[in-house]
């Protein structure tokens, strides 16, 4: 029997002889000189072996590791991107494939963990190796099915005629093609043209993997008018029964928030999908750092600083109307008074003005003559809803000061006032304790308000005060 080393040597010579004598070129075989057989045989063997290692193994698709982590990989050529989710942490995966080696990194926030080189199994079903600064080696095991990624996934804001670009990637299947669809407008190869006639609506963009129609992803486009801003004006309610009225000009928002017996003033701005501002009542201010507007504009949700829980405001049907100023005013014939109105909750912001006497055009009211000592009404009506109207009163007087001189009586006392412009004096007769007292009064009229000090010989510096607010016609308070 021949020694084993002779057998191996003989086999090697035979292999080199065969390989050295043939160079495979397509289907043709060329003989080589005997002197080059040995060297060429080794080179040919190396070429044949290396040809079995692809430049970039296809590793796109879903994977899991031994710790329950979920990995999604997407590959273009040798470049790989994806996500690695473990518990509540999502890492971004980036790297490249070279032969049977995957190198790259995992990133989460400011932390980056290099992957110096994980080994891809020959069948492409596992990827194993170390991740720098992780306590133990990782083994990723390929899962069945495919993965689909849409970019961008966040909702977007656009106006009619805008063109938006989307991209999609399929992993885990050789068929990388997708189909695009939308609820309104047209999308071709990920290029979406925003349609007209859909202002203040949210339309959906959907991409479907052709390899598995059950795999689809959607995102939304909020279609807004040329202003490019969400229209928050209108009526809203929150989950606690609070009633909110908002009015918007450009990006600026104002309004009221009524809860129970408290009325808060709302001020803020709109930027994209965020409403920021504050609620104010008296000396108290509660900041709104950033509430989120839903893509369809029907809810506004988020925290209000120093409130115990989050708020969700839900849009109500119908419109709201605000007149400024609403307080009664005093004027004389020929005066011009300016009013403004805002409509919320409708695309039609127009209003109609009217007055019980005199003319009002575009909110400019000219006080008529011949109506001294009367109260006239200025009314604004929303054209979008004729039942929505607000009225303010104007007290017409010869001097622009209401006339309050005269006797005012109740069952308990009588007040006699004498007027000289805004200076008021008079007498107050009261039957307090059943005996009756007489006080002198004096004060200054400020619009519809009169602060009177009452006094007598026993109280020369004043026994007290009366704070009166008169009706626009000056006949009662």
Fold of 321-396: Immunoglobulin-like (2.60.40)
Quote the pTM value.
0.63
**Per-residue pLDDT, 463:** 83
**Per-residue pLDDT, 143:** 96
Please count the other Cβ atoms lying within 10 Å of the Cβ belonging to residue 148: 21
Q: Do domains 61-144 and 321-396 have the same CATH topology?
A: no
Name the residue ranges covered by the structural domains of the chain.
4-50, 61-144, 148-224, 234-317, 321-396, 406-469
Please count the other Cβ atoms lying within 10 Å of the Cβ belonging to residue 39: 12
**Per-residue pLDDT, 109:** 94
Pairwise CA distance, residues 323 & 447, whole Å: 20
Mean pLDDT of 377-397: 96
The packing angle between helices 4-21 and 37-50, to 10°, is 80
Which one has a higher pLDDT value, 123 or 228? 123
pLDDT in tens, 320-361: 999 999 999 999 999 999 999 999 998 899 999 999 999 999
- Going by their DSSP bridges, the two strands 351-355 and 374-382 should be labelled as antiparallel
DSSP annotation of 447: T
Strand order from edge to edge, sheet including 389-396: 329-331, 389-396, 374-382, 351-355
Pairwise CA distance, residues 412 & 452, whole Å: 18
Query: What percent of the chain is predicted at pLDDT more than 70?
Result: 87
Provide the Cα torsion 244, 247, 252, 255; round to 10°: -40
Is the separation of the CB atoms in 79 and 96 below 8 Å? yes
Least confident of 6-15, 234-243, 404-413: 6-15
Confidence check: pLDDT of 24 > 70: no
Instruction: Give me the count of residues in the chain.
Output: 477
Q: Which CATH superfamily, name and number, covers 61-144?
A: Avidin-like (2.40.128.30)
**Per-residue pLDDT, 462:** 80
Pairwise CA distance, residues 133 & 150, whole Å: 31
For 354, 367, 391, 399, 423, the CA distances from 331, given in Å and listed in that order, are 17, 7, 16, 8, 18
Q: Which residues fall within 8 angstroms of residue 305, CB to CB, at 6 or more apart?
A: 286, 287, 288, 289
Q: What is the CATH number of domain 234-317?
A: 2.40.128.30
Least confident of 154-163, 222-231, 254-263: 222-231
Provide the Cα torsion 465, 469, 473, 474; round to 10°: 0
Q: Which CATH superfamily, name and number, covers 148-224?
A: Immunoglobulins (2.60.40.10)
**Per-residue pLDDT, 393:** 94
Pairwise CA distance, residues 393 & 476, whole Å: 15
Residue position matching structure tokens 């990989």: 73
Band of the pLDDT at 410, cuts 50, 70, 90?
Answer: confident
pLDDT, averaged across the chain? 87
Burial class (CB in 10 A: 0-12, 13-18, 19+), 300: buried
pLDDT in tens, 238-284: 999 999 999 998 899 999 999 999 999 999 999 999 999 999 999 99
Is the separation of the CB atoms in 328 and 318 below 8 Å? no
pLDDT in tens, 174-206: 899 999 999 999 999 999 999 999 988 899 999
Chain mean position to CA 401: 49
**Per-residue pLDDT, 460:** 81
């Amino acid at each position: 029997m021949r020694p084993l080393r002779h057998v191996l040597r003989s086999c090697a010579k035979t292999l080199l002889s065969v390989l050295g004598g043939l160079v495979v070129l397509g289907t043709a075989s060329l003989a080589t000189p005997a002197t080059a057989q040995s060297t060429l045989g080794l080179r040919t063997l190396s070429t044949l072996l290396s040809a079995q290692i692809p430049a970039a193994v296809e590793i796109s698709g879903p994977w899991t590791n031994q710790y329950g982590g979920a990995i999604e990989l997407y590959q273009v050529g040798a470049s790989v991107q994806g996500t690695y989710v473990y518990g509540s942490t999502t890492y971004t995966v980036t790297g490249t494939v070279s032969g049977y080696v995957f190198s790259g990194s995992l990133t989460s926030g400011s932390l980056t963990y290099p992957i110096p080189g994980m080994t891809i199994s020959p069948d492409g079903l596992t990827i194993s190796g170390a991740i720098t600064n992780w306590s133990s080696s990782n083994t990723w095991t390929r899962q069945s099915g495919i993965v689909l990624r849409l970019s961008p996934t966040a909702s977007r804001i656009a106006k009619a005629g805008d063109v938006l670009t989307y991209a999609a990637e399929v992993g885990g299947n050789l068929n990388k093609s997708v189909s695009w669809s939308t609820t309104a407008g047209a999308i071709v190869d990920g290029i979406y043209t925003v349609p007209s006639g859909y202002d203040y609506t949210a339309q959906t963009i959907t991409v479907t993997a052709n390899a598995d129609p059950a795999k689809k992803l959607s995102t939304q486009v909020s279609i807004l008018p040329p202003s490019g801003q969400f229209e928050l004006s209108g009526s809203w309610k929150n989950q606690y029964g609070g009633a909110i009225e908002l009015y918007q000009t450009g990006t600026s928002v104002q309004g009221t928030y009524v809860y129970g017996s408290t009325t808060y003033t709302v001020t803020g701005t709109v930027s994209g999908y965020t409403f920021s501002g504050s609620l104010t009542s008296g000396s108290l201010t509660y900041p709104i750092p950033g509430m989120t507007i839903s893509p369809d504009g029907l809810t506004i949700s988020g925290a209000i600083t120093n409130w115990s829980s989050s708020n969700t405001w839900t849009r109500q049907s119908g419109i709201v109307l605000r007149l400024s100023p609403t307080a009664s005013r005093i004027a004389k014939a020929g005066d011009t008074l300016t009013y403004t109105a805002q409509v919320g909750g409708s695309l039609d912001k127009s209003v109609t003005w009217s007055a019980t006497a005199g003319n009002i055009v575009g909110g400019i009211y000219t006080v008529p003559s011949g109506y001294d000592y009367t109260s006239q009404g200025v009314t604004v009506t929303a054209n979008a809803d004729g039942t929505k109207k607000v009225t303010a009163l104007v007290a017409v007087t010869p001097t622009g000061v209401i006339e309050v001189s005269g006797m005012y009586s109740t069952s308990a006392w009588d007040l006699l006032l004498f007027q000289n412009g805004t200076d008021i004096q008079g007498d107050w007769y009261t039957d307090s304790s059943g005996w009756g007292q007489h006080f002198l009064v004096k004060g200054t009229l400020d619009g519809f308000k009169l602060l009177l000090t009452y006094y007598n010989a026993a109280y020369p510096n004043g026994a007290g005060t009366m704070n009166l607010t008169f009706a626009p016609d000056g006949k009662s308070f």
